[in-house]
Amino acid sequence: MIDTLIQVVGAADARLEMSPVDYALLFVYFIFVLGIGIVVRRSVKSSLDFFLSGRSIPAWIAGLAFISANLGAVEILGFAANGAQYGFASVHYYWIGAIPAMVFLGIVMMPFYYGSKIRSVPEYLRRRYNKPTHLVNASSFAVSSVLIAGVNLYSLAIVLVALLGWSLPLAIVVAALLVLVYVVAGGLTGAIYNEVLQFFVIIAGLIPLTIVAVAAAGGPQEVLHRLADYPSYWLHPWSGTAVGGDNPIGDWIGIILGQAFILSFGYWTTNFAEVQRALSARNLSSARRAPIIGAYPKIFIPFIVILPGIVAALIIPDLGTSEDPQMTYTNAIPLLMDTLLPNGVLGVAVTGLVAAFMAGMAANVSSFNAVFTYDIWQTYVKKNRPDHYYLKFGRWITVIGVAIGIGTAFIAASYNNINDYLQTLFSFFQAPVFVTFILGMFWKRMSPWAGFYGMVSGIVAAAGVWVAGATHPDLFRSPFQQAMWMGIAAAVVDLIVSLIVTPLTKPRPISELVGLVKGMEIRDAAADAKPVRWYKQPVVLGGGAITLALAMYIPFTFL
């Protein structure tokens, strides 16, 4: 996905006609980003302040940061491309993928994460299982975060190059320095505040773009009318999802089991870049609500990401079929911006895209420095130092992380394919983790070595399916379907190995599992005594989000 983006935006001269007003808006945004970093610096007095915002963030901010950390420009351009190529078929990623996973994190898993006062997701594995399990997860996360930060940085730079006409090295360094300043100064709070600001700016850019695009296509009725000429899954996301059907996203088994219950749950509930945002909340109740609050706006994101992509396919005749390197699906949103937006809103939309890339990179950097400092340095290298040592170390490792990111960005500029290989490699590590976490939380007997062998064999299984797909290209309908089956294989193998190894190895003593497993949650007596208003209860809020997400399918059945 990133790879296509790079080829497209990099090769073509898609220079937007930016006026001084548009540049002024972008400049004002940069001032705010830096200003926020510097102002929140005074709230950073301990390592916990730096890495987890001192667990002081209100639920709504943590919730918006939770989705914003993921709503990077790669997702925005990528799902617009999916819309232009497949219509609404990829909406499952949101409505039965992300939303239920976010609600599940809030209702089921957050009490273990937040209640046990772990400071990172890998730290849960260390306390629940053993150091080898922890080390595999922590080091693969740290390496992938810092390299993906570099890829994000490169993607941001080529947007600056192509849209604004900057030179590539200048764009890479300026973008990296902006992120560096606000993360080093403000730590996680700096990153989170800017993510929420970015959320509103990207929305303020994409809603006007969608409205104008639909108007340009002749209005909503005309859009529906013209979609009748396309395959039925363009409007009916469940169409063609029978086993052997024509839906490019895959069959219903792959969508429900692979996409929803394994890949989405794995990503949203165990990726530390996400979970870190919820852990920053000021108390358990806020931490549980954060991902659920984020779920509500997430339900509507397809209408400003996938829909403009669909409309782009209708009103830009050569999109995706032309030889012109500018006319690829990934370029749908930049092309619409160029064609439709007048100066003013154009500046807001460009600022939103740039902001989305910066937020994506900052999310990688701010989760990398926490895992590297707490899980690698403090756990294996320099133990028992005073807290200010780790705070200072965290700031330096942020500088080093950004420097590695800059290096990765320059490498990516020479070897485009490296991005796709990195994404594939890291997907092996992501896939089996969810099973290991959920077994650990709900099965007291599950032994530390079962955690280790289950996870490692799941990684091998995911890699095996990838190799099968690479050597037999006709095995899967699309990369989506391949990813789903990699997830399913990893989960099933992880489960089986865990069930076999557990009876053969020693369990962890019960006394070490306090706060980490079902039935041994740490309850906060003071918070329990305080009545929570009904609309603030995670089960009520979460049930509402899932119901709303599933209800979104209804109009698509009758259209």
Partner 1 sequence: MSDDAPTGYPADAPPMTMRQARMLDLRTYICALFAIFGVTVTIEGFTVDSQELAKAAGVNINLYAGLAMLGLSVVMGVWAVVVPPSLPDPAADAAVSEVG
Binding stretches for partner 1 (CB under 8 A): 21, 24-25, 28-29, 32, 35-36, 39-40, 42-43, 45-46, 48-49, 53-56, 58-61, 63, 117, 193, 196-197, 200-201, 204, 207-208, 211-212, 215-216, 282-283, 286, 289, 293, 339-345, 347-348, 524-527, 530
Whose Cβ is closer to partner 1: residue 29's or residue 368's?
A: 29
The burial class, CB within 10 Å (0-12 / 13-18 / 19+), for 106 is buried
How many whole angstroms separate alpha carbon 363 and alpha carbon 64? Answer: 13
- CB–CB of 330/158 below 8 Å? no
> What residue type is 165 in one-letter code?
G
Whose Cβ is closer to partner 1: residue 5's or residue 26's?
A: 26
**Distant-in-sequence, close-in-space partners of 276: CB < 8 Å, separation ≥ 6:** 51, 52, 120, 121, 188, 366, 367, 370
Whose Cβ is closer to partner 1: residue 175's or residue 197's?
A: 197
The nearest distance, CB 493 to partner 1, in angstroms, is: 38
The nearest distance, CB 16 to partner 1, in angstroms, is: 12
Partnered with residue 124 across adjacent β-strands are none
Whose Cβ is closer to partner 1: residue 53's or residue 326's?
A: 53
- Long-range contacts of the stretch 541-547 (C-beta < 8 A, 24+): 541/106, 541/289, 541/292, 541/293, 542/103, 542/106, 542/107, 542/292, 542/295, 543/103, 545/99, 545/102, 545/103, 545/292, 545/295, 545/296, 545/299, 546/99, 546/100, 546/103
Write out 127-174 in H/E/C secondary structure.
Answer: HHCCHHHHHHHHHHHHHHHHHHHHHHHHHHHHHHHHHHCCCHHHHHHH
Whose Cβ is closer to partner 1: residue 207's or residue 403's?
A: 207
The nearest distance, CB 289 to partner 1, in angstroms, is: 7
Residue among 294, 248, 302, 255 nearest 96 (CA): 255
The nearest distance, CB 397 to partner 1, in angstroms, is: 21
How many whole angstroms separate alpha carbon 264 and alpha carbon 480? Answer: 12
The nearest distance, CB 455 to partner 1, in angstroms, is: 29
Looking at the chain, the number of H-run helices and the number of E-run strands are: 27, 0
The nearest distance, CB 302 to partner 1, in angstroms, is: 20
Whose Cβ is closer to partner 1: residue 53's or residue 90's?
A: 53
Whose Cβ is closer to partner 1: residue 287's or residue 461's?
A: 287
DSSP string, 503-520: HHSPPPPGGGGTTTSTT-
Whose Cβ is closer to partner 1: residue 55's or residue 395's?
A: 55
> What residue type is 136 in one-letter code?
V
Whose Cβ is closer to partner 1: residue 283's or residue 424's?
A: 283
DSSP 240: T
The nearest distance, CB 359 to partner 1, in angstroms, is: 14
The nearest distance, CB 34 to partner 1, in angstroms, is: 12
The nearest distance, CB 164 to partner 1, in angstroms, is: 18
| CB atoms inside a 10 Å sphere around CB 36 | 21
Whose Cβ is closer to partner 1: residue 197's or residue 306's?
A: 197
The nearest distance, CB 286 to partner 1, in angstroms, is: 7
Tokens of 105: 């994190």
How many whole angstroms separate alpha carbon 28 and alpha carbon 137? Answer: 40
